[in-house]
Amino acid sequence: MARHYKRPDYWTLKAHREGFPARSVYKLQEMDEKFALFGRGSLVRVLDLGAAPGSWSLYAARRWGQNLALTAVDTAQLLPACAAALSSSAGSFVFVQGDMTALPVREAVSSHGPFDIVMSDAAPATTGNSSVDSLRSLALAEAALDYAAAFLVKDGNFLVKVFQSADSAALLSRLRSLFLRAQSFKPKACRSESFETYYLGLQKRSNLSAHTPASLG
Ligand SMILES: C[S@@+](CC[C@H](N)C(=O)[O-])C[C@H]1O[C@@H](n2cnc3c(N)ncnc32)[C@H](O)[C@@H]1O
């Protein structure tokens, strides 16, 4: 059975106070502070996969303002207030609505690349069956890594949410071959009972690949 979290916790209340639609922003903030995910360039080109309702994109826009070129993807709409804030504060902002594993979405994204950071907080709707949920999460994480392999610049960073399972270890091995550093990290704002974690790939080894992704249909 799917879990429902009824009582707003510390992170949810903080997000409301600070004008973010989702508590997940503090996971990104902690990883950015620890790993300097956005680099130090004067223009930051960001691909945000599974972006709705929009907290991660809004975090990037508040941090980089006019120096941000943002492409966000989700099957769902962004929160209208978020989309409006992104349109007015980012240097450029494109929203692609659709399934990130579908070829037309990938083609739409490719025209806005390359990117300095590819980040994916995409998560399947959970069923409560951890084997099913983990496999669906892994498929999304593999699709996100395919985007990074194709559209991330050399030295660019990658961040992806994964529901941990025996199978997710293979994804971390793939990250190790593509990035100088790869590791998993569970931010404080993750719910303690959740089996989600994040995999980070830091400093991509080579430039755009001719790789044909297996995960895209
Ligand atoms: C945890 S939410 C992301 C929260 C977001 N990072 C934020 O801070 O507001 C996960 C998102 O993944 C999206 N998602 C799930 N499967 C997807 C797919 N195949 N393609 C695109 N987005 C997907 C969902 O629609 C959902 O909005």
Q: Which atom of ligand 1 is nearest to the CA of 143?
A: 19
Catalytic residue IDs? 161
Q: Which residue owns the Cα nearest ligand 1 atom 18?
A: 99
**pLDDT at 41 (0 to 100):** 73
How far away, in angstroms, is 174 Cα from ligand 1 center? 23
Average pLDDT per block of 10 residues along the chain, 217 residues long: 63 91 94 91 93 97 96 98 96 98 97 96 93 94 97 97 91 95 92 85 77 48
Q: What is the DSSP string of 44-110?
A: EEEEEES-TT-HHHHHHHHHHGGGEEEEEEESSPPPHHHHHHHHHHSSEEEEEES-TTSHHHHHHHH
Q: What is the token pair recorded at 116?
A: 């300095």
Q: For ligand 1, pick from 16, 49, 74, 97 the residue to mutate: most ligand atoms within 8 Å of CB.
A: 74
CA distance 125 to 70: 25
Q: Which atom of ligand 1 is nearest to the CA of 24?
A: 8
Q: Which atom of ligand 1 is nearest to the CA of 53?
A: 9
Number of helices (H), then strands (E), belonging to the chain: the values are 7, 7
CA distance 173 to 185: 15
Which pTM does this prediction carry? 0.93
CA distance 45 to 60: 10
CATH class for the domain made up of 15-204: alpha beta
Q: Which residue owns the Cα nearest ligand 1 atom 5?
A: 51
Each domain of the chain, given as residue ranges in start order, spans: 15-204
How far away, in angstroms, is 14 Cα from ligand 1 center? 21
How far away, in angstroms, is 121 Cα from ligand 1 center? 6
Half-sphere exposure of 169 (CA within 13 A, CB side): 3
**Residue from 18, 100, 101 nearest 55 by CA:** 18
Q: Which residue owns the Cα nearest ligand 1 atom 21?
A: 74
**pLDDT at 2 (0 to 100):** 47
Pocket of ligand 1 (CB under 6 A): 21-22, 24-25, 50-56, 73-76, 99-101, 121-124, 140
Length of the chain: 217
**pLDDT at 84 (0 to 100):** 97
